[in-house]
Structure formats: C-alpha cells, structure tokens
C-alpha cells in the first residue's frame, strides 16, 4: 500500500504557516510534542504525514475560536491559509474509521490554531477493495422510481411526529394522489412508540401498492429505519418484503461502521439524511465541509443525500448548496473510473421559483427535488402542485422562461402567482 491520501484544511494561525502545517502533520502521524526514542529519521520518512501545499489566504483581525496560543516571536497577526497534507495509507490501512481518526482526530484542538476546518479529502480507489460505494446511485434510483429525463419530484410526510401508522398512510394517500415520485419519512420519525416502524411501513406500503396497481406507478418511499444495527437490518427486510424501494437513515446518528453493515445487507437504495451536519459544517472556522463529509458516506454506501436547496429556509448560502450538489455527481476516483455518484436531494422551502436557477447552476436533472408547501399549498391542490413543478423543470430544460411556459399551463401559472 504505497498510495497516499490527501486532506485539505482551512487554517487560521499566528504561527508561521510552514511551522503550523508541520505541527498538523506531526500530530497526526509519527509526532508527539516531544520527540521520543525510537522515532528515527527512517521511520519519519516512511510514516510522517507530508505538507503538500500551503496557499496563504489573508489576515483576520481577531481569533475565530478561543484557546489559541501565540508564538514566542511576539507575532500577533493571524493569517489564514489552505493547507494540504498527505499520509501513506500504510499508516491506517483501508479503514474509514481509522482514516477519520487520522484526518480529523485531535487537529481541531491544537493550540497553534484559532481556526481549523477540514475542507476536502482525496482517496485512492483502492478503498473500493473494502467499501462498496453506492449500490444504486443515480441510474439505479431512476430505474426503481421509473423517472427519466427530469428530476425525481419528492415530498415529505408532515407533521414529523404525532401521526399514527393509519394517519400516516392516509397522509401518504393524499401525497400519492398528487402524482409525486418520491415520499420520505421525517428524520424525527423512525420507530416512535405511537408510530412503530413495522406498522407504519405496512400501512404505508399497502396504499403505495394499491396506487401502483391502479396507476402503474411505483412511488418510492424512503422509510426512516434509523436505529440500532439489528433493528435496521430487520426493518430493511420488512421494507423489502412489503415491496418498498428505498430506506432512509440519519447518518450522524448511526456512524460509518453501521452504514457499512447496512450497505452490505441492503437490496434497496439508501437515502442518507445528513441531519446534524450543521454542527460540523456551519462554522467556517471549525468542523468539516460537506465536500469532505459526503465522500466518506458515499464510499460507505449511500445512494442519495440532502444538500438543502436554493433560497432555503436554513442558513446555508446558495453557492454552498450548489457546490455540495455538484460534488455528489462528481466521480470520486480517477482509476478505476468508478464515480460513486449519488443523487443530490434539494429540499427546504423549494418551489417552482427556484427551478430555473437550480437547473442553470446544475446543468442536469440528475437530482431529487423535494417540496412540501410547494405541493400541498398549491392553490389548485396537490396534484397541480406536482404538475407545476414538472412544468417548471420542463421549461427550464427547454430554455423557456417560466412565465412564458405558464401561458397555457394553468398549474405553473398559479404556482408562480401569475394573474390572469
């Protein structure tokens, strides 16, 4: 195993950038604060992390995070930089849990830094010897959903909690009647005592199968099976037995090893919910970018993941949303050319209003586009809501302005609020 992995970081420090980067490399490979006996030059050459690149970015007026130290030379000016380190795989082997301890580990707590965030990672494709990557990805998901040449239009079961299995199925009936392609559980509802997973899935799948028998359309239902490992495997089996075509898990709740087990067992696409990612991703000064984050989960086997949406109701900027979504569709490896591409899921306040700019930014319809109010609150009803979204996407792909396309398409017109 002579290949290396690289990881890039945003750093903020009052220390010399070379010294600061060397501290990072030392702490996360052979180093300790004091050189110990046995730490020979040969050993350092073979196992030490390397500083590959330092790009200085600018100064800051005050430290972003508390607890940082200042160098003995009296400098108090804090500079920022993008630092890239590399490690030989020989240090940790083909192991995502141990890779994580290496690229993250204690780095965030180093005193030399008043800011340190993991921005990106690059892994060699030898990791595919151990990890399976997405089983379905974009093409497999399209096939199961029977949706081509446009986004998969999705929606979510609301309220998040409180519905009984029967009430959930009633709500799903309403959503099915709208013509939607994809329905997901809320991340807050997995197996609450008043809406147990098994009863909910049986009730929901019954109405989904009935809908299929009537219309020929098999709607994809992402059943939230988040839980302990044995529970998740049993729940997967139930979804499969009920004819379901998707499972969903909260990634931060279950961890990479549990996802690996689920992926190995699963015969269904895994809808990876990133809730809790804000803890890692929101601050520019600490944590992990979604660019790095999603690579770990793709390799471990998710098929879809959430990327927020343009003009969303959360705090994420549009540029960040688009970068995340594009990354999901960008091949992870050069050779072999196995991309591990997954479906980005746009959601949060999405409606016909964001369609044109989403397509302009993405240049593809390989995505899921999930709307709540944009479907249920359509003035002509939920079916018109779904139709209006499809019309908006068709217009965007055809290069027609939404307002022009709305002429003769009353659902889109109503969604856009066009006066007649």
240-259 residues in contact with a copy of itself (CB under 8 A) are 250, 252-258
Can residue 283 be called a binding residue for a copy of itself (CB under 8 A)?
yes
Q: Are strands 113-122 and 220-224 parallel, antiparallel or unpaired?
A: unpaired
Report 366-385 residues binding a copy of itself (CB under 8 A): 372-373, 376-377
Please select the residue that binds a copy of itself; options are 7, 17, 21, 104, rule is CB under 8 A. 104
C-alpha–C-alpha distance, residues 420 and 345, integer Å: 33
Sign of CA dihedral 410, 345, 333, 104: positive
Total residues in contact with a copy of itself, by rule CB under 8 A: 96
Q: Which helix (H) or strand (E) holds 198?
A: helix 197-215
Residue among 247, 226, 341 at smallest CA distance from 295 = 341
The residue within the footprint of a copy of itself, chosen from 3, 77, 111, 148 (CB under 8 A), is: 111
Q: Is 30 in the site for a copy of itself (CB under 8 A)?
A: yes
CA atoms within 13 A on the CB side of 316: 26
Binding residue (CB under 8 A) for a copy of itself from 14, 107, 222, 370:
107
Residue whose CB is less far from a copy of itself, 317 or 404: 317
- Contact residue for a copy of itself among 77, 161, 360, 407 (CB under 8 A): 161
With CA atoms as reference, report the closest residue to 224 among 247, 201, 246.
Answer: 247
Task: Provide the b/e sequence for 68-79 (b: ≥16 CB within 10 Å).
Answer: bebeeeeeeebb
110 touching a copy of itself, by CB under 8 A: yes
Write out the two tokens for 385. 């809501």
Q: How far is the CB of 83 from a copy of itself (least distance, A)?
A: 17
Residue 336: cis peptide before it, omega within 30 degrees of 0:
yes
Q: Does 37 bind a copy of itself (CB under 8 A)?
A: yes
**Which strands sit side by side in the sheet containing 78-88, from one edge to the other?**
50-60, 78-88, 4-13, 113-122, 286-288
Q: What x/- string results for residues 193 through 232 when contact with a copy of itself is judged by CB under 8 A?
A: xx-------------------------------xxxx--x
Of 307-366, which residues contact a copy of itself (CB under 8 A)? 308, 313-317, 349
Any contact of residue 158 with a copy of itself (CB under 8 A)? yes
Q: Which of 12, 185, 187, 327 binds a copy of itself (CB under 8 A)?
A: 187
Q: C-beta of 327: minimal distance to a copy of itself in Å?
A: 18
Interaction residues for a copy of itself, span 115-154 (CB under 8 A): none
Query: From its phi and psi, is residue 38 left (phi > 0), alpha (psi between -120 and 50) or beta?
Result: left
Does 6 interact with a copy of itself (rule: CB under 8 A)? no
Q: Which is nearer to a copy of itself, 69 or 331 (CB)?
A: 69
Per-residue DSSP letters for 337-396? ------EEEE-SS--GGGHHHHHHHH-S--SEEE-SHHHHT-TT-HHHHHHHHHHHHHHH
Binding to a copy of itself by residue 93, rule CB under 8 A?
Answer: yes
Contact indicator for 51, 85 with CB cutoff of 8 Å: yes
- Is residue 60 involved in binding a copy of itself (CB under 8 A)? no
Stretch of 72-80, 155-163, 207-215, 335-343 lying at the interface with a copy of itself (CB under 8 A): 155-163
Cβ–Cβ < 8 Å for 85, 50: yes
Q: Which is nearer to a copy of itself, 243 or 284 (CB)?
A: 284
| Residue number, 22 or 89, with CB nearest to a copy of itself | 89
């Amino acid at each position: 195993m002579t290949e290396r992995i690289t990881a890039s970081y945003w750093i903020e420090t009052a220390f010399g950038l070379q010294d600061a980067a060397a501290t990072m490399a030392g702490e996360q490979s052979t180093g300790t604060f004091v050189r110990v006996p046995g730490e020979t030059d040969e050993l350092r050459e073979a196992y030490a992390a390397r500083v590959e690149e330092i790009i200085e970015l600018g100064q800051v007026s005050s430290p972003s995070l508390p607890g940082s130290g200042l160098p003995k030379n009296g400098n108090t000016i804090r500079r920022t930089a993008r630092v890239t380190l590399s490690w030989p795989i020989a240090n940790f082997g083909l192991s995502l849990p141990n890779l994580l301890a290496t690229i993250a580990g204690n780095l965030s707590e180093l005193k030399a830094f008043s800011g340190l965030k993991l921005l990106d990672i690059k892994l060699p494709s030898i990791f595919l010897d151990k990890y399976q990557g997405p089983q379905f990805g974009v093409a497999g998901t399209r096939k199961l959903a029977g949706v081509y040449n446009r986004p998969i239009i999705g929606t979510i079961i609301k309220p998040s909690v409180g519905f009984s299995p029967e009430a959930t199925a009633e709500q799903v009936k309403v959503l099915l009647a709208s013509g939607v392609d994809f329905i997901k559980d809320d991340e807050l509802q997995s197996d609450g005592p008043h809406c147990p997973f098994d009863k909910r899935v049986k009730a929901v799948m019954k109405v989904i199968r009935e809908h299929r028998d009537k219309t020929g359309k098999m709607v994809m239902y992402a059943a939230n099976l988040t839980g302990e490992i044995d529970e998740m495997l049993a729940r997967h089996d139930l979804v499969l037995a009920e004819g379901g075509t998707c499972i969903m898990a909260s990634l931060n709740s279950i961890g990479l090893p549990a996802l690996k087990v689920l992926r190995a067992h699963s015969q269904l696409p895994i809808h990876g919910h990133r809730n809790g990612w804000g803890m890692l991703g929101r601050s520019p000064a600490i944590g992990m970018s979604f660019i790095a984050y999603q690579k770990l989960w793709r390799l471990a086997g998710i098929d879809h993941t959430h990327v927020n949406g343009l003009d969303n109701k959360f705090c994420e900027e549009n540029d960040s949303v688009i970068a995340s979504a594009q990354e999901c569709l960008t091949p992870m490896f050069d050779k072999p050319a196995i991309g591990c591409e997954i479906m980005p899921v746009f959601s949060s306040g999405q409606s016909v209003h964001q369609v044109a700019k989403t397509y302009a930014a993405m240049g593809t319809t390989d995505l899921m586009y999930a709307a709540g109010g944009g479907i249920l609150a359509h003035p002509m009803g939920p079916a018109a809501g779904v139709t209006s979204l499809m019309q908006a996407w068709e217009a965007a792909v055809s290069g027609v302005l939404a307002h022009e396309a709305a002429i003769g398409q009353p659902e889109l017109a109503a969604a856009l609020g066009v006066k007649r």
